């Protein structure tokens, strides 16, 4: 503990840190008077060293910092210790009796590295200081609790391709918030995690360098590195941080231009105007930017007739015509074209020549040229008294084409309105057609026309044909097609030939424009795409869709047509190749057992048998009833529980056959003459006559069996007191029947009397 000598007598303060170290002792002398005055020794006052507190303390008890003690304190409790300054109430506490100092909160050096406090010893009773106030520092001791951070990352850098080994790319820097003056907590080393073997990093400086020579941008132009910074000098337990470095290889001119073909052929008409583009050629260069710029020149056969320039946008060589072409004099040119890099890097000249050559053959096509006169101006003289028809001169023209067609001559009548002259169409001889008068017109300027002796009549086209599908499209749609999938690209053709070319517009008619299955997208290049609106197409639901497509041309007036596109739903494999299309045969579930199949088959057979029985029974009803044994017809009683359909039922039974025999039958049914009325005959005769008539009917019946048989008939005899109660007899009369007599037959007929009588019953 440091000690001072001062004039007044004071006690000695002592400071004991948590580590047990005490302050060093210092001495000072102070002279009160002149040179002859004796020095006095005073008692020690306090001088403070630093306290040290470890940061990020995580214990449950307050952290002990140190102890204050004064020589005045005899341990009798008369001295009280007081602490003030930074954090004296919120962070640090002092035991006023013992002078022990504690930290009550966890400290972070990165937030505050030290705290300045004041200590004082006072009398407990009077609060009078027994020692003067003095200041000391509590310094927060650092631990490694912060990882290195790249504040400027991620990094973007570039390095020229083909650079030498060890070329500097970029320098990265990481900072550590820990105390650089204490330990190794802030000492960082660098390493490369990703990016080897192409690049390396200096562990101390963070400089990134190339680790391989001659890296080629045309092979790979970008690399992403991951750089790590680790504190504690990279030792185990140190904290680390990473950053990315994107390195782009910049281009250098290390690739020469190369033509993709060694020979090119082009054809141009001999009538091509001067300064027109003849052809375009291009040498390819894998470099980019200025390193790919070209210069072209014509080396052979072309100079003077052709010239070549560079298109700065596409770096193509444009061959331009400089002089008129003449098929008859020269019909082809063989040009030698050279392409050279405009910006050559001397560092890469050793790689070879930065130029390339190719051959371009230009073939001149013959064009039907107009005739050419031997002289453009002919002067002829004629006397004004020359007779009509006299020859005054001749013009001559020839066909410059190889065909050398015959020439026909004529006079442009706009230059000879009064028709004073004629020209022979074949020979070109000019003669007078009228008398001439020099005083009226002394000079005649004639224009002679020469043309080849053939005529070409071109029929001009009008828009009279609508566009139609180019082909018959067979469109297949997979069941697993997804929404927005293009299933067909369609195009159109038109028999017309507009001067500006065809332009077709595609759309769906308004009637189907809102359908939920397909839509149409016009590609603006005379094609259109059919696109699905939904997925989940199933052949079981619908196997064929018919989609009308409206096509409109660009003629004047515009014509249109509606074409139908058939779309078949198909089963496709995973690659979208159709396997089967059309309707799907119904198949039973795969899990159906054999017993179930047998049961279903049995039910079907049973239903078929029942249907056959019903049909057979209905047919047998129409056939005569055949008895198995001979019996007396009069004693045969047939019972059946078949309820009739009433008077309107004319299909279930033959109503004529069941009529009451008291009614005289229709004479048209019989071919014989009149028969006696059954009602007037005796009973046995009635039955005999009835059976006899039925027998004759059976003999002539074509549907009767070819063997003897006994037939029964519904016969109603006569003699009943109530006569016939059958409603069948109502077929033979139009009169209303009277059932009032039923009321007199007793209670048993009460119900019938109520139903058919006039409502007045004797039983009511």
Q: Which pLDDT belongs to residue 368? A: 75
Q: What is the Cα–Cα distance from 14 to 134, expressed in whole angstroms?
A: 11
Phi then psi for residue 604, to 5 deg, are -65, -45
Q: Tell the CATH topology of 468-570.
A: Immunoglobulin-like (2.60.40)
Q: What is the Cα–Cα distance from 279 to 265, expressed in whole angstroms?
A: 9
Taking the mean position of all CA atoms in its chain, how far away is CA 371?
Answer: 61
pTM for the whole structure: 0.44
Q: For residues 153 and 110, is the Cβ–Cβ distance under 8 A?
A: no
Q: Which two tokens stand for residue 608?
A: 């078929």
Q: Which residues of the chain have pLDDT under 70?
A: 1-49, 142, 302-303, 402-403, 453-457, 584-592, 620-684, 704-737, 757-764
Q: Which two tokens stand for residue 42?
A: 């005073």
Q: Which pLDDT belongs to residue 439? A: 86
Q: What is the Cα–Cα distance from 423 to 400, expressed in whole angstroms?
A: 22
Nearest Cα residue to 316 out of 279, 356, 281, 265? 281
Collapsed DSSP state (helix, strand, coil) of residue 735: coil
The dotted CATH code for 368-457 is 2.60.40.60
The CATH superfamily label for domain 50-141 reads Cadherins (2.60.40.60)
DSSP conformational letter for 651: S
Q: For residues 504 and 526, is the Cβ–Cβ distance under 8 A?
A: yes
- Find residue 54's DSSP bridge partners: 141
Q: For residues 377 and 355, is the Cβ–Cβ distance under 8 A?
A: no
Which CATH class name applies to 258-365? mainly beta
Q: Which two tokens stand for residue 180?
A: 């650089």
- Find residue 237's DSSP bridge partners: none
Residue 312 buriedness (CB in 10 A; 0-12 / 13-18 / 19+): exposed
Tokens 């001149």 locate to: 364
Nearest Cα residue to 424 out of 400, 395, 452? 395
Q: For residues 333 and 298, is the Cβ–Cβ distance under 8 A?
A: no
CATH 2.60.40.60 spans which residues of the chain? 50-141, 149-250, 258-365, 368-457, 468-570
Which long-range contacts does 149-153 make (Cβ < 8 Å, 24+ apart)?
A: 149/174, 149/175, 149/176, 149/177, 149/241, 150/174, 150/227, 150/229, 150/241, 150/242, 150/243, 151/175, 153/243, 153/244, 153/245
263-269 and 355-365 beta bridge pairing = parallel
Q: Which two tokens stand for residue 18?
A: 């948590």
Which CATH class name applies to 149-250? mainly beta
Nearest Cα residue to 44 out of 83, 18, 9? 9
Q: Which two tokens stand for residue 619?
A: 């047919």
Q: What is the Cα–Cα distance from 316 to 320, expressed in whole angstroms?
A: 12
Q: Which two tokens stand for residue 555?
A: 């003629």
601-615 residue pLDDT tens: 999 999 999 999 998
Q: Which pLDDT belongs to residue 336? A: 92
CA distances from 20 to 67, 119, 389, 655 (A): 10, 19, 150, 141
Computed from CA positions of residues 749, 752, 754, 757, in that sequence, does the dihedral angle turn out positive or negative? negative
240-250 and 155-160 beta bridge pairing = parallel
Q: Which pLDDT belongs to residue 676? A: 47
Nearest Cα residue to 285 out of 274, 295, 299, 272? 295
Q: Which two tokens stand for residue 136?
A: 């000391």
- Find residue 51's DSSP bridge partners: 138
> CA torsion angle for 568, 572, 578, 580 (degrees, to 10)?
-70
489-533 residue pLDDT tens: 999 999 988 877 889 999 999 999 889 999 999 999 999 999 999
Q: What is the Cα–Cα distance from 437 to 476, expressed in whole angstroms?
A: 87
Exposure class string for 28-64: b at 16+ Cβ within 10 A, else e? eeeeeeeeeeeeeebebbbbbbebbbebeeeeeeebe
């Amino acid at each position: 503990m440091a000690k001072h000598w001062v004039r007044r007598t004071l006690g000695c303060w002592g400071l004991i840190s948590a580590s047990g170290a005490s302050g060093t002792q210092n001495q000072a002398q102070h002279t009160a008077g002149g040179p002859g005055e004796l020095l006095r020794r005073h008692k020690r006052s306090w001088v403070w060293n630093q306290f040290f507190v470890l940061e990020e303390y995580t214990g449950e008890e307050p952290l002990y910092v140190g102890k204050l003690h004064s020589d005045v304190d005899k341990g009798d409790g008369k001295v009280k210790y007081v602490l003030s300054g930074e954090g004296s109430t919120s962070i640090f506490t002092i035991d006023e009796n013992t002078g022990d100092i504690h930290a009550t909160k966890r400290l972070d050096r990165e937030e505050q590295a030290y705290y300045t406090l004041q200590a004082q010893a006072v009398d407990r009773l009077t609060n009078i200081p027994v020692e003067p106030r003095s200041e000391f520092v509590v310094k927060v001791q650092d631990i490694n609790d912060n990882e290195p951070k790249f504040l400027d990352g991620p990094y973007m850098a570039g390095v020229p391709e083909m650079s030498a080994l060890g070329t500097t790319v970029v320098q990265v820097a990481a900072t550590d918030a820990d105390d650089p003056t204490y330990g190794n907590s802030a000492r960082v080393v660098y390493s490369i995690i990703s990016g080897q073997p192409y690049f390396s990093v200096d562990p101390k400086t963070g400089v990134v360098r190339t680790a391989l020579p001659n890296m080629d941008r045309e092979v790979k132009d970008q690399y992403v590195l991951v750089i790590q910074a680790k504190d504690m000098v990279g030792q185990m337990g140190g904290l680390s941080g990473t950053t990315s470095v994107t390195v782009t290889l910049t281009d250098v001119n290390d690739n020469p231009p190369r033509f993709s073909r060694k020979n090119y052929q082009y054809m141009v008409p001999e009538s091509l105007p001067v300064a027109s583009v003849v052809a375009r050629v291009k040498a390819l260069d894998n470099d980019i930017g200025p390193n790919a710029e070209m210069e072209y020149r014509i080396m052979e056969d072309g100079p003077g007739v052709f010239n070549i320039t560079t298109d700065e946008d596409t770096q193509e060589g444009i061959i331009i015509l400089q002089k008129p072409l003449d098929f008859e004099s020269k019909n082809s040119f063989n040009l030698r074209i050279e392409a050279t890099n405009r910006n050559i890097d001397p560092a890469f000249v050793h790689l070879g020549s930065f130029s390339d050559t190719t051959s371009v053959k230009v073939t001149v096509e013959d064009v039907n040229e107009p005739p050419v006169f031997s002289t453009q101006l002919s002067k002829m003289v004629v006397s004004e008294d020359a007779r009509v028809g006299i020859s005054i001169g001749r013009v001559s023209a020839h066909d410059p084409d190889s065909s050398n067609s015959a020439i026909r001559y004529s006079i442009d009548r706009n230059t000879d309105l009064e028709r004073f002259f004629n020209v022979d169409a074949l020979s070109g001889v000019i003669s007078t057609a009228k008398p001439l008068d020099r005083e009226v017109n002394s000079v005649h300027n004639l224009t002679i026309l020469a043309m080849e002796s053939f005529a070409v009549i071109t029929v001009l086209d009008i828009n009279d044909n609508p566009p139609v599908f180019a082909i018959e499209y067979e469109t297949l749609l997979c069941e697993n097609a997804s929404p927005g999938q293009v299933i067909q690209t369609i195009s159109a053709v038109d028999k017309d030939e507009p001067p500006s070319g065809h332009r077709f517009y595609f759309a769906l008619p308004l009637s189907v424009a809102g359908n939920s299955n397909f839509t149409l997208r016009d590609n603006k290049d005379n094609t259109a795409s059919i696109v699905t609106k939904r997925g989940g197409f199933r052949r079981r639901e619908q196997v064929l869709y018919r989609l009308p497509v409206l096509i409109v041309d660009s003629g004047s007036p515009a014509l249109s047509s509606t074409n139908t596109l058939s779309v078949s739903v198909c089963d496709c494999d995973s690659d979208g190749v159709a396997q089967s299309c059309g309707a799907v045969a119904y198949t039973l579930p795969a899990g159906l057992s054999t017993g179930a199949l047998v049961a279903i088959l049995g039910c079907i057979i049973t239903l078929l048998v029942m249907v056959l029985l019903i049909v057979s029974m209905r047919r047998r009803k129409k056939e005569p009833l055949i008895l198995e044994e001979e019996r007396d017809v009069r004693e045969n009683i047939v019972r059946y529980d078949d309820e009739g359909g009433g008077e309107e039922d004319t299909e279930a039974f033959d109503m004529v056959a069941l009529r009451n025999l008291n009614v005289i039958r229709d004479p048209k049914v019989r071919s014989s003459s009149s028969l006696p009325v059954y009602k007037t005959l005796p009973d046995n005769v009635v039955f005999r006559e009835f059976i006899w008539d039925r027998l004759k009917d059976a003999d002539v019946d074509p549907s009767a069996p070819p063997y003897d048989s006994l037939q029964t008939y519904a016969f109603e005899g006569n003699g009943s007191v109530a006569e016939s109660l059958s409603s069948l007899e109502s077929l033979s009369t139009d009169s209303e029947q009277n059932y009032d007599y039923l009321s007199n037959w007793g209670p048993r007929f009460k119900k019938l009397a109520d139903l058919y009588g006039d409502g007045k019953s004797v039983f009511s």
